[in-house]
Amino acid sequence: MTGSFSVTQKRALAVATLIALGFGAYFLRHYLLLMAVAAVLAYLFTPLYQRLRTSMNVGLSATVTLLAAVATVAIPLAGVIFLAVLQISQMVTSIGHWAEQTDFTALAQRLLDSANALLARVPFLDITLTPDSVRQAATKLGQGAGQVALDFARNSVGGIASTVTALILFLYVFLALVTNGGKVVDLFRDLNPLGPQVSDIYLAKIGAMVSATVKGQFIIAVCQGVAGAVSIYIAGLHDGFFMFVIFLTALSFIPLGSGIVTIPLGIGLAVFGNVAGGIFVVVFHIVVVTSIDNLLRPFLVPKSAHLHPALMLLAVFAGLKMFGFWGIVLGPVLMIVIVTTISVYLAVYQGAPLDSITGTRADPADDEAERTVPWWRRLLPGKPGEPAPAVTSDET
């Protein structure tokens, strides 16, 4: 059939295809994030589906894979929520004990006097707080908060319906990608005008970045978050341990890491009297928390997913701004696509070696030799299998 089309008709068809794809992206723009998240999870759980297909039919294999994906997301999320609620309840209990031992009448008067003393120092401002004025302000604040809560409740009704709809769409897209992932990949190869070799490069880069961000980076972030929270607990801050775990783990996803919190916190502890605890937190982060990343990354993050730290930082923050929480994964994926496109251009027009794009060695035997080296040897200086340096002597 292709022979019946002229060159002009083929060009017109290519333009029409681009317009159709662009309109399709615009038409589905409100669900692109949902589709991207479903594609990420489908990619991660496709090996499980393929393994199940050896002993189960398509429907049962897809159902088990879906349940495994839901459990993988729901169980950690439930654990995080449980720990957060437990920590909040402990804080509420501590506040209750403090409230039982505090004279609020005297405390309120001291706070009022302190506030009036500060206001008296402000030039061109003649304001004196009284119990009645504070009470009126609190009433207005309560009314405003109630109105905000009422508006939130009204919006939540529509939000619940949207959430249920998005969940149903997600399940359908996830199952479709799991069961027909091979066809989608073949379609991408056929539509890519750069050819199947370049298509495979893109797919390999995107897959490596997804695995690195979701699996490798998640494990590293959890280890660093727990280690940072433990150091803060040992330093003397026993309240909010689980909250620190959650917060520091989230920060560990970005290149700056949890140090943007633990180092200033350690300095603050040292300044306000807890010198030993403050120094311990700072030194522990520099020596231990940083070493966790250096030790685990070679085993969990493939080399083909490497991005310069500056690019990774920009990708994560740009992804967070564009996609919200899922930008932690989608931002680096988009950045690796951009970098790969530039690398392909350099390889085609500037003659750059293709190995620099794929991240593979010229000799595949080198990769096989490295995989056979014990894990403990990879932690030692020098290349595995490299002969020991010769010992020279000046004696004659």
Dihedral (C-alpha) 218, 293, 343, 332: value to the nearest 10 degrees? 30
Read off the tokens for 327. Answer: 């930008």
DSSP structure class, residue 372: T
Nearest to 335 by CA among 309, 354, 356, 296: 309
Which contacts (CB < 8 Å, 24+ apart) does range 370-377 have?
A: 375/299
Most confident of 26-40, 123-137, 183-197, 236-250: 26-40
CB 354 within 8 A of CB 346: no
Domain that holds residue 161: 32-190
Give the ranges where the chain is alpha helix by DSSP (H).
7-27, 32-52, 58-100, 104-120, 131-179, 181-191, 196-211, 217-235, 241-251, 259-271, 275-284, 290-300, 309-323, 327-349, 355-358, 364-371, 375-378
At 70, which amino acid appears?
V
The answer to whether residue 289 is domain-embedded is no
What's the pLDDT score for residue 19?
Answer: 92
The answer to whether residue 177 is domain-embedded is yes
The predicted-structure confidence for 251-289, as pLDDT tens digits, reads as follows 787 766 788 888 888 888 887 778 888 899 889 988 888
The answer to whether residue 186 is domain-embedded is yes
CB 333 within 8 A of CB 206: yes
d(CA 149, CA 167): 25
The answer to whether residue 387 is domain-embedded is no
CA distances (Å), origin 138, targets 129, 133, 134, 368: 13, 9, 6, 70
d(CA 190, CA 185): 9
The predicted-structure confidence for 81-126, as pLDDT tens digits, reads as follows 777 677 677 766 766 666 566 655 666 677 777 777 777 777 766 7
CB 246 within 8 A of CB 77: no
In this predicted structure, the answer to whether residue 361 has a pLDDT above a threshold of 50 is no
The predicted-structure confidence for 129-166, as pLDDT tens digits, reads as follows 777 777 777 777 767 766 766 665 556 555 567 778 88
Residue with tokens 């090996």: 47
pTM over 0.75, yes/no: no
Residue 275 backbone phi and psi in degrees, to 5: -65, -50
Q: How far from chain centre, in Å, is Cα 34? A: 16
- Give every CB contact of residue 21 below 8 A, 6+ residues apart in sequence: none
The answer to whether residue 143 is domain-embedded is yes
At 368, which amino acid appears?
E
In this predicted structure, the answer to whether residue 391 has a pLDDT above a threshold of 50 is no
The answer to whether residue 93 is domain-embedded is yes
Kindly report the average pLDDT of the chain as a whole number. Answer: 75
Residue with tokens 């959650």: 246
What's the pLDDT score for residue 382?
Answer: 47
38: number of Cβ within 10 Å: 22
d(CA 347, CA 271): 54
Read off the tokens for 211. Answer: 């695995």
CB 135 within 8 A of CB 127: no
Residues 136, 142, 147, 148, CA torsion sign: positive
CA distances (Å), origin 225, targets 121, 261, 299, 310: 43, 11, 19, 22
124: number of Cβ within 10 Å: 4
Number of domains observed in the structure of the chain: 1
* Banded model confidence at residue 310, pLDDT cuts 50, 70, 90: confident
The answer to whether residue 77 is domain-embedded is yes
